[in-house]
Structure 1
């Protein structure tokens, strides 16, 4: 399946755009392009080749035109907001994931949930997310229209990253930013693997050049999260529901966020607004697992009236194996 540059029949997706090589400017200046992907031979090797839909032009050479960014617009619906008429960070995370998955699908990667390429399938490799950091300056409200811009690039020698920028389309204000890191894993052994030359060369066609980072200072997004040995708050015996599972039969990342927030007292939510969340993913969580969610206020922030920071831990009941470590920062609510 491929993305179209028109309103989908459900009305959920307002517009999608694929960015050509060399054009990394304002999304509103980019010309929308419809794509599908075929397999063709280049120098005797099978490669993925983007092709415009019938009626929009001839086959385009992969080397001269390839979507390296994806921009989608969304209208916030009533069932996506909470009691404050704003979306939650978990809802935002689902929208970020939607844009990322559409970008991968639009480029011809597999649609099994792992976004693999031909070379990755040849070596039995899949992507696994290792960390995500989201900062929200202003939460979208019911009826707001937002635009999410996302792109993919290499992170060091053996990792990749995806960045997002969220804009309120009425005001033009950037209201949220996010970044995530990924590693390769052998699907059979479940061990991390190196990015070999075949995989790197294939992905070079899709990464952004020159690189662009949504956070000018990446230090906060990479700040280590210490293990929580003692905690003040705990939500015990959390069980994934069928609705919490993704297409790979793993618990969705947004569910982790909800569990983390559920572990905090209600007064934390009513007297503060979530400013940022960082998650480090430690192991898989499946339908049959039971989770305890623990939280503790960081000592340095106990005397700060304007903001506070919590450290969180999700672990498997019965084994004490860590599922994720996370950190949240909070501010006084905006009205």
Structure 2
């Protein structure tokens, strides 16, 4: 991890877990987002600062690997740092450590800075380079694998966007797309497997009152399961693409 490293401790509460008493992937993603926001606030370039510059961060990509999901009652430390800044993109790294300091999860993410009113990308402010301690010449990108195209639809579900799905940027919170994607995987599949990796690309904003369709292609190999997901808005346009990789509970 490069740049300033910020860490924050979290306890896994009951509302963070699934039926196996292990943290939901969406809970971990919420922690990643929270510690990134916390870092910006600590460095004086948080929500109020961005608003005063008519700017906001929008998440573009995730690539998350989970070694072991923390369990109910566990205390974990989540770390983050800005890896590099390039034009209007920010590349960020994250780690999850257990109480013994062992890394049990990692994540890479890509964000871009937008003009709040125009909803269009803008160049990274010089003050952000300085605050994150990133050299302006440091524009190396994190390697992020592409997401496969969906070729068949094994299942689909429909959802209406609620007020509680909306975040501070007035569009759907990024974790909701992950929930919708996983919800399209039949329960009997979910009960057999444990999620080990997830890749996400956010392509289009969706808003309160609209509806979405969550589609999934499932390749069940017995000891593992790979899924390709697609979230469509109510005009049939791709809003989010995802891939999830699962391992049999017998192997976990």
- The Cα shift of 1:255 comes to 1.1
Q: What is aligned with 2:114?
A: 185
Query: In structure 2, what is the equivalent of residue 279 of structure 1?
Result: 200
Q: Map of 1:24-173 to 2, 5 A cutoff?
A: 68-111=4-47, 116=50, 121=53, 124-169=54-99, 171-173=100-102
Indicate whether 1:203 and 2:102 are aligned: no
> Which residue of the other structure, out of 288, 309, 317, is the alignment partner of 2:226?
309
From the two aligned structures, give the one with the greater strand fraction.
Answer: 2
Check the 8 A contact 1:155/1:181 in 2, yes or no: no
Q: Please say which structure displays the higher CA radius of gyration.
A: 1
Unpaired runs of at least 5, structure 1? 1-23, 26-66, 211-217
The structure whose RCO (Cα within 8 Å, separation 6+) is larger is: 2
Q: Distance in 1 between matches of 2:85 and 2:45?
A: 20
Structure 2 regions of 5+ residues with no counterpart? 136-141
In 2: Cα distance, 1:141 partner to 1:254 partner: 20
Shift of 1:281: 0.5
Tell me the matched-pair count: 247
Paired residues of 1:291 and 1:314 also in contact (CA < 8 A)? yes
Per-residue CA distance 1:260-315 (angstroms, 9 max, x = gap): 110001122111100111110111111111010000025xxx5x433221110001
TM-score, length basis structure 2: 0.88
Kept in 2: contact 1:152–1:206 (CA 8 A): no
Question: Deviations for 1:203-248, whole angstroms, at most 9, x for unmatched residues?
Answer: 22233569xxxxxxx54xx222244353111012x01223222123
